[in-house]
Structure formats: structure tokens, C-alpha cells
A = this chain, B = another copy of it.
């Protein structure tokens, strides 16, 4: 028989969301997703975090330099979230203020996404794992230079016990049951999954 396994499952009461370095300059380096897909995925993750009322922490690296400012859509979606503009730490987890903000959420499940995957995502993901957190990386809201780099970064993180998700899987795992709010989840999917919206459009047309 198979070895024992515990399903470490996302819970909206125990998860926090960390959005790392989704800055205008850095995003222009991303080439493992088309720009349109990547923007959609990042906003879908952000909208999901807001929908599930997850404590969310924003952080940037050198936002007054070439890396550029945080993309304004994210800033606007989380006006009251802790916002740590790191003065120099490449790994957000090396920044005390950031770690304190994480600890203050009281959550043990950390959902992380950012740019670029092998640095801004992988470094705090590995640090958080070392600190005992359950870590879930949203792969499709994290971008980097090319597929080779992404694949290597994923392997490093998965080996460390990080769970690799996409934003849709994350949202579904957090929601658990459509009956908790059919309209809300439907609206979220309709906004960020064009073909799901098409299904709804066709469905409503027939009623």
C-alpha cells in the first residue's frame, strides 16, 4: 500500500497572500507567459485574495529605480494592505518588517506569487518553508525570463515542500463549495476566464 499522506489543504481562515515585486519594470522582463495572459493571471490572483478576504501583503524592491513602481491595479485593489517597499533586500523574507507583517496575520498558509519566479518568489518561499510555514506558490501569477528558468525554479521549490498551484486551483480550494456563494465565485471566474464567461453567456441566453 502507498505511504501515508496528509492533504495540506488551503483554508480561507488560515491563508495569507504575499504579492512580491509585481513592478512595472520587472514585469517587462517576463517572457514565459504572454503579457496578456500574465496580466490576467496576476489580477485574477489579486481579485481572488480580495474575494476570500485573505490578509494580503504587498512588497516591492527598489521601486524608485529601474524596477519601477508596483502596477497601479494591484495597489488600488489593496489600499489598506501592509506595503513594504524594501530598501535593498532581494529576498523579501530578509526584511524584518515584511516577516513581521506576515506573522501579524497569524496565518500559517502562505500563498506567494511574484516576479521573477526564481528569485522574488523562490527565495521567500524557501525561507518561509524553513520558518515552518505551509507555502503555496501561484505559478501562473509568477513570471520569469523563459521556460528553462521556470522549470528549474519549480523543481527547487517543489523539492522544498512548496505546493505548486495556479490561481484557479487556489480559488477552488479556498472556496470548497459553490453553495458558499455561487454568484460571487461565478463573477470572479467570469471576469478572468473568458471561456467560462462564454459558457455563462450562452447559458443565460437560453433561460
Contacts and interface: CB of A to CB of B under 8 A. Distances in A.
B168 A149 contact: yes
Contacts of A53: none
Interface stretch (A76-84, A97-105, A189-197): A189-197
Contacts of A187: none
Contacts of A139: 148-149, 152
A165 B161 contact: no
Interface of A: 1-9, 24-25, 27-29, 31, 33-40, 61-69, 71-72, 87-91, 94, 108, 116, 118-119, 122-123, 126-127, 129-130, 132-135, 139-140, 145-146, 148-149, 151-156, 158-161, 163-166, 168-169, 172-173, 175-180, 182, 186, 193-203, 205-207
Q: Which 8 A-B pairs have the closest CB atoms?
A: A88-B179, A66-B199, A206-B206, A152-B164, A118-B169, A68-B202, A24-B201, A24-B198
24 contacts: A2-B132, A3-B161, A6-B130, A7-B130, A24-B198, A24-B201, A27-B198, A31-B31, A36-B36, A88-B177, A88-B178, A88-B180, A90-B172, A91-B176, A94-B176, A118-B166, A119-B169, A123-B172, A139-B149, A145-B168, A149-B169, A153-B169, A199-B202, A206-B207
